[in-house]
């Protein structure tokens, strides 16, 4: 409070270049995902994009970057960064990669805004032009059977299938589409890198789990990836919290149904499970500091509204997480960390212990005075 702070906007750093030979994109810090997807598509290539076309590339990637389209096939977006430009606390503009200031290069991909201002980022693209993707929407009163079918699907899913399930209790607000406002529905989001026939075979038990209100799963150009989640296009305030979970086996499924199934009284807007595993498990040479390598699911609870409106949901989420304690795994997906989890201990707990200590040492080297501290703050510690 009362601190002199500076907000830096990178909006005008808006350049995108695609090299079709090396299959890489270089983008400025103000670029959002749709711009990259469209530029790459002209060369038959695609990036590891998230669920929203409006999210900024740099923030998403420095937090790991959980791709909603092909994360399980190719892993964390941060692991596919080949270089980045960063202005550190001493005012130095640095170009870092695996050969130049390798420790800073490792740390930035997971430290988010703790080590400087990233002005440009370069990353790999993949030769993908189409997806078999979309959403299956079920009435909320079939939540249990749908979750059980989804648990079975994810237990056997090939790496080509990246998916999530969301329990949506949408308030009657214009930010949400007309037919879903004021209703409780269950959404299964599907992105499959394979044939329609293979997708249909995989999804058959899921489609039989309840009456499908909406089914948009179909062959689509990669440039239409936003149709899978249909994230809100307008800005809205929200609160969020996240937890990491193992595979959806019997007891855990029971607990989740009790927690936010049809009979539960849930003040949160969205309770979502994003499926990890596959290539998201691997820590290849050149990986950054981000990425949940041991969890099978990210649980993400989101409530739309200002702090006064979201307070009951935040309290409820804390109670839900307490009941899930027996299953909860270490670490958090850095892009889903909310205001409630910015304390020193919570930030430390978001990382594996060895990773946090290594990040604290890099912080001590490049930002010893903790200039970059209005974030999920990693405290500088040379001996930590």
Residue whose entry in the numeric block shows the structure tokens 């990382």? 351
- pLDDT tens digits, one per residue of 123-132: 999 999 999 9
Residue 353 pLDDT exceeds 80: yes
117 belongs to a structural domain: no
12 belongs to a structural domain: no
216 belongs to a structural domain: yes
Q: How far apart are CA 294 and CA 244, in angstroms?
A: 9
Flag the least confident range among 21-25, 231-235, 269-273: 231-235
Residue 383 pLDDT exceeds 80: no
Q: Residue 186: which domain range?
A: 130-341
Q: How far apart are CA 346 and CA 375, in angstroms?
A: 12
Is residue 378 exposed (0-12), middle (13-18) or buried (19+ Cβ within 10 Å)? buried
190 belongs to a structural domain: yes
What pTM does this model have?
A: 0.95
284 belongs to a structural domain: yes
65 belongs to a structural domain: no
243 belongs to a structural domain: yes
Of the candidates 151, 191, 187, 148, the one whose C-alpha atom is nearest the C-alpha of residue 170 is 187
Q: How far apart are CA 125 and CA 80, in angstroms?
A: 9
The residues pairing with 134 across neighbouring beta strands, listed in sequence order, are: 190
- pLDDT tens digits, one per residue of 240-269: 999 999 999 999 999 999 999 999 999 999
Q: Six-digit token pair at 329? A: 């795994």
> How many distinct structural domains can be found in the chain?
1
Q: How far is CA 220 from CA 8, 47, 53, 130, in A?
A: 37, 16, 15, 6
Q: What is the CATH number of the domain that holds 161?
A: 3.40.462.20
Neighbours of 348 (CB within 10 A): 17
Q: Six-digit token pair at 375? A: 């974030």
Asked if residue 199 lies in contact with residue 190, where contact means CB atoms within 8 angstroms, the answer is yes
Q: How far is CA 10 from CA 18, 218, 253, 374, in A?
A: 20, 36, 43, 17
- pLDDT tens digits, one per residue of 83-121: 999 999 999 999 999 999 999 999 999 999 999 999 999
């Amino acid at each position: 409070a009362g601190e002199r702070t500076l907000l830096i906007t990178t909006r005008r750093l808006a350049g995108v270049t695609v090299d079709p030979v090396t299959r890489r994109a270089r983008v400025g810090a103000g670029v959002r995902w749709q711009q990259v997807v469209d530029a790459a598509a002209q060369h038959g290539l695609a990036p590891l994009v998230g669920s929203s076309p409006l999210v900024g590339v740099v923030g998403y990637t420095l937090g790991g970057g959980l791709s909603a389209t092909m994360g399980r096939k190719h892993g964390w977006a941060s692991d596919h960064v080949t270089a980045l430009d960063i202005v550190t606390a001493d005012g130095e503009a640095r170009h870092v990669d695996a050969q130049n200031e390798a420790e800073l290069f490792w740390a930035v991909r997971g430290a988010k805004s703790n080590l400087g201002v990233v002005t440009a980022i370069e990353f790999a693209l993949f030769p993908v032009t189409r997806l078999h993707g979309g959403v299956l929407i079920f009435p909320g009163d079939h939540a249990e059977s749908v979750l059980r079918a989804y648990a079975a699907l994810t237990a056997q899913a090939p790496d080509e299938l990246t998916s999530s399930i969301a329990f949506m209790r949408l308030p009657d607000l214009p930010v949400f589409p007309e037919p879903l406002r004021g209703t409780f529905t269950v959404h299964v989001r599907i992105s499959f890198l394979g044939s329609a026939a293979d997708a249909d075979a995989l999804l058959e038990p899921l489609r039989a789990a309840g009456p499908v209100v909406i089914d948009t799963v179909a062959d689509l150009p990669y440039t239409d990836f936003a149709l899978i989640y249909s994230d809100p296009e307008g800005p809205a305030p929200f609160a969020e919290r996240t937890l990491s979970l193992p595979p959806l086996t019997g007891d855990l499924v029971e607990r989740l149904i009790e927690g936010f199934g049809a009979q539960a009284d849930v003040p949160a807007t969205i309770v979502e499970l994003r499926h990890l595993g596959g290539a998201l498990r691997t820590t290849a040479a050149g990986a950054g500091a981000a990425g949940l390598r041991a969890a099978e699911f990210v649980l993400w609870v989101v409530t739309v509204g200002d702090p006064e409106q979201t307070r009951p949901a935040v309290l409820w989420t804390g109670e839900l997480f307490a009941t899930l304690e027996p299953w909860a795994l270490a670490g958090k997906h850095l892009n889903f960390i909310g205001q409630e989890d910015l304390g020193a201990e919570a930030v430390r707990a978001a990382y594996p212990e060895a990773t946090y200590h290594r990040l604290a040492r890099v912080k001590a080297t490049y930002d010893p005075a903790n200039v970059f501290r209005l974030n999920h703050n990693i405290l500088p510690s040379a001996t930590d």
